[in-house]
Amino acid sequence: MTFARLLGLAVLLSAPAPDDVKDPGPAAESPVFVATMEVHGRVVLNNYSTQAGVPAVQFDHGRHRVMFRCRVCHAELAFALKAGETRVSADTNGSGLHCGACHDGKTTYAGRPIFKACTGWRKLDPARGCSRCHSGSSRAPLDARYEALLRTLPRDVADYVDWSAAERRDLIKPGDFLEGVTNQRPAMKLDRDLTIDVKGTWLGRVTFSHKKHTAWTGCELCHPEIFPVTKRGSATYTMAAIFNGEFCGACHNAVAFPVSVCERCHGKSTMRR
């Protein structure tokens, strides 16, 4: 998306945001909403798949986010935040790493076993359910149960799911650890909000909530790799850098709500009406 288009979207979204997200209503039936969720948060894993003669894997972050917090996979199970760096393979899955930490046919969720990840065979086998993950790089339809869940969750001004609001309302209960595999830790008590002044825009200042972010990511996903310096005023954040995948863009460009939804971060607009 060009900067001009993003600027136009910012104007459209510059109306004051409600204190909370919208309750899902009849508009939730809109196919536009489902299509949006199909694109945002879906990534293609293809370090080895097509080389081995099978379609690439499509991974939906939202579908897994319902079950676990981000840090379980990205801090404990060694999934890198940058595309292509994790090197997931049938061999690593078979040894209980990466997807295989959960998808082993034994681990259960909501009382049902999680299907086993591919290992030991090198061709697409419908009888084994390979196409559940190996669906290729084209847009695959959403699982019916996941799509039905999406329609019940609160949304923001741009029709993206507000996952934090969904958790506050007990609509989802993501786990913080994987029993027998990852470490269980007490909830972090850091709740300090930071304000970041902005320049050269009609949008208001940014209020960053440590409480909301550490609930999902902990401290270790941001510090020190993404935000190496924590002293106030020692770093300069620009939208160009964020759109390029730095700072907030490491998550918000492709997985968390996109940075084009300006009002989720920026406060009241300073534009004259």
Per CATH, the number for 3-32+152-264 is 3.90.10.10
Ranges for all domains in the chain classified under CATH 3.90.10.10 = 3-32+152-264, 42-147
3 state SS of 202 = coil
3 state SS of 43 = strand
CATH superfamily of 42-147: Cytochrome C3 (3.90.10.10)
pLDDT by residue, tens only, the chain of 273 residues: 433 344 333 333 333 333 333 433 433 333 344 445 556 888 899 999 988 888 899 899 989 999 999 999 999 998 999 888 999 998 999 999 999 999 999 998 888 899 988 776 777 777 778 888 998 876 777 778 888 888 899 998 888 899 999 999 999 999 998 887 887 877 777 778 888 988 887 888 999 999 899 999 988 899 998 998 778 878 889 999 999 999 999 999 889 988 888 989 997 644 333
Instruction: Give just the sign of the alpha carbon dihedral 214, 220, 225, 230.
Output: positive
Instruction: Tell me which residue has tokens 């799911």.
Output: 161
Instruction: Give just the sign of the alpha carbon dihedral 174, 83, 1, 197.
Output: positive
Measured CA to CA, the distance from residue 3 to residue 240 in angstroms comes to 9
**What pTM did the predictor assign?**
0.77
